[in-house]
Chain A
Amino acid sequence: MKKVKIDDVEFGGARRVLVAGPCAIESEDMAMKTAQTLAEITDKLNIPFVFKASYDKANRLSIESGRGLGFPKGLLVLRSVREKVGVPVLTDVHETYQVEAAASVADILQIPAFLCRQTDLVVSAASTGKAINIKKGQFLAPQDMQYIAQKALSTGNDKIILTERGSSFGYHDIVFDPRSIVIMKDSGYPVLVDATHLCQQPGAGGGKTSGNRRFSLPFAKVAFALDADGIYMEVHPDPQNAISDKDVQIPLNSVEDFLKTLDFSR
């Protein structure tokens, strides 16, 4: 099993990792507050932690949907989080021209699930030498993730992490097939499970995505039972007023209880 190490956080190491943060950066204050709180909780519970947030939610269903601070200002916020809170940072890239700038602040570049087959994007992100988290497309068989990983590996960068985030099921729904964890782990790369996006119901909210966060915790437990290397989850101080994924993001004030029920040791 390959290991990906970023500062003190080791994916595939002795302790499982938590990648968490808001879906989108709505403001600097909100991002800082969330990162600071998560850092304190994970420090207390001895959980290796990486802060995640999108500087630009470019893959929205509706033109009306908010996208966050956008490029490049959202990156500035991520840089502040990294410097002031002192945690590694993950963000997703949607355009090749943004990759280098994103790599200047992020420790891990993420390839969004919808774009996981975009060769140029995967290759340009991997070419930065940063660790790459590739989310499995909702349309993709878990066996096929090995080919996506090979695209990244073709650049000589083997710091690759794979993330399961569910599979499209008919219209307006996502299902979680736990076999995908076992299959993706066969690739030899660390595997995360996105416990909040697994609960999505895309487009079921009338032009926007809804879902049901009550499944997040059981899904996380299933993930750990199948030896996943970490949990990926979206957290918001006030989910009801979030600009995206308001039905699935975990309220910041309940994160500690959520994490306490999970065993991050191996």
Chain B
Amino acid sequence: MKILVRIIIAILLAIFLVLLCARSVHTEERKGYSELEHFCNGVVDWYLLFDPRAALMEFILAETYDPMDAQLKKSIAEVYLDMGNYSQSLLKAQEAMTYIDDDGELYRIAALAAAGMKNCKLSRKYAQRAYFPTQDEYLQIVWCFVDNEQYSTAISMCRNALKEHPHSSTLWAALGKIYISIGEVERALEPTKKALELNPQDDQAYIQLANIYIKIGKFRDAMKVLDRYVHLFPDDRSVFEQYMERALMFDSLRDARSVVSRFIARFPDGEIEALEGYASAAYVQGNYGEALNTFQHLVEITDTSEPNYLYFIGKCYDELWCPESAAVMYKIAIEKNPSPDLWTDLALVWARMDEPESLLITLKDASSQFPDSAVLWYWGGVALRGVGMWNLATHWFSEALKFNPDDVQTLFSLADTRERAGYRSESIALFEKINQLNPDDPTIQNYLGYILVDDSVRIEYGKQLIQKALTAEPDNPAYIDSYGWAFYREGKIKKALSYLKKAEELFGDDSEILFHLAKVYAALGDIENARKYAIKSIQINPQYVKARYFLQMIAGDSDEKSENR
């Protein structure tokens, strides 16, 4: 539009100038004609041929005939401005000001040139006397202040301009934008809404408003704005994609599905991408059935067995407690494009299915294919630990540690495995190393402290570690349980009972806390309560061997006492 207007003006101007030049040939002296000729050439170069560099040359030549011609200087300044040479533009404009001082356009050029040079103060000074045909140009000066982080000045300039032009959507939108750039997002809301109200076709204002709503947590409002936008500008694919992306992030799956369907209807070539986004969102939101169906649909419509789709189908089956199907999918995906992650997931499925033989075959193949993957060695260890293969798990964790000897997660898993395997001294040494590496981690302090007190060797040091953990998290039931257990090991049974009861109040479904309580009641001679807590502990974790053994012990005791009675 702007170019069209420029062309029309240029044509009219050219006709006028040609007539003027023709007249000048007859009436002007040679000197005057040359100046006019260069000026005319410059106008034609600029407006008609869009060649500002050639126009500049002509205006400069014209100026040599009349070095005091302010209009020529103004033209030169404007060409320099057009070319982005702000310093020369400002210099020429200032030269022209020595001859004319009431030309709003000249001040406009000077103000814009100064703004281009980031001399905001000077720019504002000239802007006060300038005539701006559009608010966009005025805003260049406002943005100069924003760029210089002089936000209050920028805001007051915007507000002052709004007093004169209260219906300028550009100004309202700019005000909103300034508030956004200084982080005052809530204050940006009203100006942006106003901008949109004044100009419902302002595409940028929609985006701005949607972003504001998202930043202030009003996702539903943001979605409404984006919905209006895509209705108004249905061909703007980029915004539609953003809308869909946000719908997948914030909306219910059903609403997101509707947006995705609309997108696919508008842009059929974007179907795959849209469905991939939808399937991933369904997976992330835990709707594994929907995710599974969508990934399966993707396999059908693409007519390919894209390994990534198969992998996610496997993950969905895994989450839906269909480990056999998950394993099949992982195996197909591995055949197509093996990766340590895929092998790891397959190994964990075997562990969950308690199929040690398949697990060992999988890990053998995986480790021969990716011997340098620390991730594989670590998760292989986790899978082996899951099926109770302590020594092999120890080997896999040790291999993982070769890549990063101080990796706390792996050290922790190894220490835990050694503890479960019955190698307490090794476990203690490893936890001490972890504690040195991470001296402020309450989980590690509690773990090491508990083992030490349970071992009844370094109870005092163990208690200190548990106390440290409790200082960090005073209401953590696991830490309170450990502390109570320390008193039990010291023989302070009543103190132990009070801590363990507190732990039970906070988390009564923990088999270990309940087992500890059973032991404490037994020590106090309260066999009924001891039996009650032991049974509760076993009900929660039927595999808890210690509790089962203890229950057998006290059941015998109890029967014996009953018989004696």
Could you tell me which A residues sit within 8 Å of B by CB distance? 71-73, 75-76, 79, 96-97, 100-101, 103-105, 128
Contacts and interface: CB of A to CB of B under 8 A. Distances in A.
Contact of A100 (B56, B61, B64, B91): B56
Given A97-B91, A100-B85, A72 B60 contact: yes
B83 interface: yes
Nearest to B57: A104
B56 A73 contact: no
B53 interface: yes
Nearest to B58: A104
B140 interface: no
Nearest to B91: A97
Contacts of A100: 53, 56, 80, 83, 85, 88
10 contacts: A72-B61, A73-B64, A75-B57, A96-B88, A100-B80, A101-B53, A101-B56, A104-B53, A104-B56, A104-B57
A76 B85 CA distance: 22
B203 to A, nearest CB: 31
A72 B61 CA distance: 6
B83 A76 contact: no
- Looking at B51, B54, B57, B64, which has the most chain A CB atoms within 10 Å of its CB? B57
A97 B54 CA distance: 15
B76 to A, nearest CB: 10
Of A71, A101, A103, A105, most B-chain CB atoms within 10 Å: A101
A206 B384 CA distance: 96
Interface in B31-89: 51, 53-54, 56-57, 60-61, 64, 80, 83, 85, 88
A31 B80 CA distance: 29
Contacts of B56: 100-101, 104
A103 B83 CA distance: 13
B123 to A, nearest CB: 20
Contacts of B80: 100
B58 to A, nearest CB: 9
A175 to B, nearest CB: 39
Interface in B197-253: none
Given A100-B83, A100-B85, A72 B91 contact: no
A105 B83 CA distance: 16
Given A72-B64, A73-B64, A100-B83, A105 B57 contact: yes
A104 B54 contact: yes
Contact of B57 (A72, A96, A97, A128): A72
B53 A73 contact: no
Contacts of B57: 72, 75, 79, 101, 104-105
Contacts of A72: 57, 60-61, 64
A157 B88 CA distance: 22
Contacts of B60: 71-72, 101
Contact of A73 (B51, B61, B83): B61
A75 B56 CA distance: 12
A105 B41 CA distance: 14
Given A73-B64, A75-B61, A96-B88, 13 more contacts: A72-B61, A97-B91, A100-B53, A100-B56, A100-B83, A100-B85, A100-B88, A101-B53, A103-B53, A104-B51, A104-B53, A104-B57, A105-B57
A137 B83 CA distance: 30
Q: Which of A73, A75, A79, A100 has the most CB of B within 10 A?
A: A100
A205 to B, nearest CB: 32
Query: Chain A CB within 10 Å — which of B51, B54, B83 has the most?
Result: B54
B401 to A, nearest CB: 48
Interface in B347-372: none
A97 B56 CA distance: 11
A240 B85 CA distance: 41
A79 B57 CA distance: 10
Contacts of B64: 72-73
Given A100-B53, A101-B56, A104-B54, A76 B88 contact: no
